[in-house]
Amino acid sequence: MEDKKTVFIAEDHQLFRDGLKAMLASKEGLEVIGEARDGLETINSVKKKQPELLLLDLSMPRLSGISVIKELRRLFPDMRILVLTIHESDQYVIETFEAGANGYCIKDASREELLLAIDSVLNGKTYISPGISDNVMEGYLEGQKKIKSKSSRESLTHREREVLKLLSEGYTNKQIGDLLNISVKTVEKHRANIMQKLNLHNAASLTAFAIEQGLVQKK
């Protein structure tokens, strides 16, 4: 009997998560061995389960999908990671592959397309949804990145984007420090840098910017 490929689902919407589990249960050769609802839970659970394939949403509470990819790629270089997302912009696609993802699939894809994406990624290939502009991947693979224009969001470092996301989700400086394993003083410094770079001067404007940029979802 052929061994099944193990799959972990990281998605904060339960209905979509349940739909994925039901779909994968009908596919021979795949076994869902775990699920998570936010970025930190994903990292902690994947460390224990060590699946062969991670299906990952980009917009999740606590830690973003990009942060999850970077951490898990460092810990498990051979793990296959397929992103499932609503974001179709060049910026998200490039950041995702730079972080170490193996595939990028839009959430409104058909069942057939998603299964094709899973098969492709498990077989060592790179997958990107047909709806994404071809020149995005061409620019990335050739290292040109000409389409990656400078924006306010891109002026932030990876750590600053993590702090901004958590601030926008209502976490205190101390809670953020605990989550990211940094001091409160360091959090305050990141917060000051974020406000200076974005020319935003209160929590409400930071939250509005984070929502606009897709770092957090509007409630």
Q: What is the DSSP string of 3-71?
A: PPEEEEEE-S-HHHHHHHHHHHHTSTTEEEEEEESSHHHHHHHHHHH--SEEEEESS-SSS-HHHHHHH
Q: Which of 141, 172, 202 is the endpoint of a domain?
A: 141
> Residue 80: which CATH number?
3.40.50.2300
Q: What is the mean pLDDT of residues 157-167?
A: 87
Q: What is the mean pLDDT of residues 5-9?
A: 95
Q: Which of 113, 141, 169 is the endpoint of a domain?
A: 141
Please check whether residue 21 lies inside any domain of the structure: yes
Q: What is the mean pLDDT of residues 65-84?
A: 93
Q: Tell me, yes or no, whether 191 and 87 share the same domain.
A: no
Residue 172 vs residues 102, 163, 175: alpha-carbon distances, Å: 34, 10, 5
pLDDT in tens, 87-128: 877 778 888 888 899 999 988 888 899 999 999 999 999 898
Say what the pLDDT of residue 146 is: 44
Q: Tell me, yes or no, whether 59 and 114 share the same domain.
A: yes
CA dihedral 45, 49, 52, 57 (to 10 degrees): -20
Whole-model pTM: value is: 0.69
Q: Do 83 and 104 contact (CB within 8 A), yes or no?
A: yes
Is residue 135 pLDDT above 80, yes or no? no
Q: List the domain range (segments joined by +) for residue 90.
A: 5-141
Q: What is the mean pLDDT of residues 34-54?
A: 95
**Amino acid at site 219:** K
Q: What is the mean pLDDT of residues 54-74?
A: 90
Number of domains forming the structure of the chain: 2
Say what the pLDDT of residue 6 is: 95
Q: pLDDT-derived band of residue 1, with 50, 70 and 90 as boundaries?
A: very low
Helices vs strands, H then E, count in the chain: 10, 6
Q: Tell me, yes or no, whether 73 and 179 share the same domain.
A: no
Q: pLDDT-derived band of residue 149, with 50, 70 and 90 as boundaries?
A: very low
